[in-house]
Structure 1
């Protein structure tokens, strides 16, 4: 995120004295990536940010993964994971249910109506897509407003809390990396500016506008972090003072939102390949949008995607809205997640290829994650799987 921002009051020179009105010093914290050789920000705290008084294990929601064996395309219904009462009692952090994962990324779903605990993910950045509902995301950098269609990007170790607002349930699709998440490198200048051919620009990225100051002592923060042999584990810290005590910060590393409606689709006379839809990338995976758009306008075009074997990737689609033409007849609908693993040639359901001829516009909304290592199945995959999806192409062909 090489886009400089600042908030609050700062000393004129970094790493120099910044004094409180009573003459005491504020405490400077450098939050930086890649051994302080990449993006960073400086935060100035009222209190020492490392002052913990207790630490205890935190038992994470079920993180166990099992192999996708036998190798099958699969359909998961996130609508089946939370009933009304469960959602009303859940929060967006501790109520997550793990669908899919590997050593690079974990994909979870949450439906929640309660404020979350203070939390930070020390394993990697998080990219949270808001399927529906609204929330205030309180962070050590300040407050973000999250609404339907927003990606909320939270850099690794950002202390934050999700507070649903309004009367509805907050439904989120959570992409947790073991790395950092950023715009694709091909969209960026050598100094990090988004280039003219990128499908979004800095005006579309919204960081915290105002600081958030809270007081309190003996404050709990849940931390997800790396454990033995690469596993993910958790610790519950107690801080002597509330971590939301920052009086000023500046830099190029901070949480922000980007709404999927601000993504300008790249279209052409013939079908554009999936990289044209890319919005973010992390180590070992990419994130793409499929948004409402004009489709192929060559006189002989077939707007529907061709059948394809992405030989290096597993493909996961989260169907967030609209009418996804390629999956008609398969049972997939709003809130569905499909897994098309590497080794399985996939594409439109029977009849969709032919029906698309002459179509000028697709009204669809989906978030795609392609991974470069095989995905394994979490507990929510077993709980929400729709039977028969793997055979839907053959069944439709026969009919």
Structure 2
């Protein structure tokens, strides 16, 4: 019978630090090799040169970057938005919406998470109305009927938990109110604006996505006609400014500490402004690492992305498992200087347990030179 236990190794060789990510041997660069997305066993190697100092990178495995802001075509339906990255457990699309959706949408393939990158508007759904703005996560349980009415053009990152659902991470010793209090989760309201929307005349079509195919059901009335609801399942809204990140002034924490939502075989994390480490021996930039059990995806929402050079809002990087990655040379140089008191960035990370495929939409806006951006490190 297979065992889930790890081989119990405790060993060390040569010049090494006693504490991970701090007090490195002089002139060395630390690389973490870890299992289970920083939750499992790990080793920390100390190198003479930055582990990303390659001069050539050949073959299908490589770091990739996509400028999703260049996907200019606005689509009236979320299911017409091009796929960016996907596998059997998660699907990521980037959707631009210029005006009110002509039809309602319903995802029968899994829970849906809409991250509002740009624009404002109103979400109308089975449960009522929610206003939204940039930086909002809109969680839609599987099967919810919904539609958006933008007041300004929208750009939305869509994350689907295929045949799964989204939950909150286990916050362990931090307690249930760390990162954000669940009381910050806002549910839709059945207010006057929602009732007015219910009374709009005409036929209403619902576009239902099932097994990645779209079926259409038309009603002679607005099917968002509920007059009330109760229970412990509903859409919610959470803004990135509501998050209070965990930090340590003496130790650079791994990305997993910023987990916001969890699903089967992937996790969604959020990076928000946080103070830099002040201990003189602590790393102040993300450490070089091999997270070989997960593919890592990072969508850059707003701010100054201190660990990446030539990356702007609306871009996405994709680091499939299998090679070392870490900060760009510019970030390493800045680490040696007096750093700013805090980071100034908002970004959404998706860590997928299974290999991700690149969709046609992402391939059309790829920056092929991204793999060379570490040269000189």
After TM superposition, the score normalised by the length of structure 2 is 0.78
1:261 counterpart (238, 241, 245): 241
Which consecutive residues of structure 2, in runs of 5 or more, have no partner in the other structure? 1-58
Q: How far 1:345 moved relative to its partner?
A: 1.0
CA distance in 2, matches of 1:276, 1:308: 16
How large is the RMSD of aligned CA atoms in angstroms?
1.9
Q: Does 1:392 align with 2:373?
A: yes
User: Which residues of 2 match residues 1-399 of structure 1 at below 5 A?
Assistant: 70-82=60-72, 86-87=73-74, 90-91=75-76, 93-116=78-101, 117-165=103-151, 168-178=152-162, 179-186=164-171, 195-196=176-177, 198-210=178-190, 212-213=194-195, 214-215=198-199, 216=201, 218-226=203-211, 232-268=212-248, 269-328=250-309, 331-357=310-336, 358-359=338-339, 360-394=341-375, 396-397=376-377
Contact 1:95 1:111 in 2 (8 A): no
Q: How far 1:95 moved relative to its partner?
A: 4.4
Q: How far 1:172 moved relative to its partner?
A: 0.9
CA distance in 1, matches of 2:176, 2:370: 40
Contact 1:224 1:235 in 2 (8 A): yes
What do the CA deviations read for 1:26-85 (whole angstroms, capped 9, x no partner)? xxxxxxxxxxxxxxxxxxxxxxxxxxxxxxxxxxxxxxxxxxx71111000012110xxx
CA distance in 2, matches of 1:91, 1:265: 35
Tell me the secondary structure at the aligned position of residue 247 of structure 2: coil
After TM superposition, the score normalised by the length of structure 1 is 0.74
Contact 2:112 2:160 in 1 (8 A): yes
Q: How far 1:107 moved relative to its partner?
A: 0.8
What do the CA deviations read for 1:211-233 (whole angstroms, capped 9, x no partner)? 5342456431100112xxxxx21
CA distance in 2, matches of 1:270, 1:146: 35
Q: How far 1:351 moved relative to its partner?
A: 3.4
CA distance in 2, matches of 1:80, 1:246: 39
Q: How far 1:390 moved relative to its partner?
A: 1.3
What do the CA deviations read for 1:195-224 (whole angstroms, capped 9, x no partner)? 13x210123111112253424564311001
CA distance in 2, matches of 1:219, 1:377: 34
Q: How far 1:94 moved relative to its partner?
A: 4.3
CA distance in 1, matches of 2:205, 2:115: 26
CA distance in 1, matches of 2:237, 2:269: 16
Q: How far 1:141 moved relative to its partner?
A: 0.5
Question: Corresponding residue for 1:66?
Answer: none
Q: How far 1:160 moved relative to its partner?
A: 0.4
Matched positions, count: 309
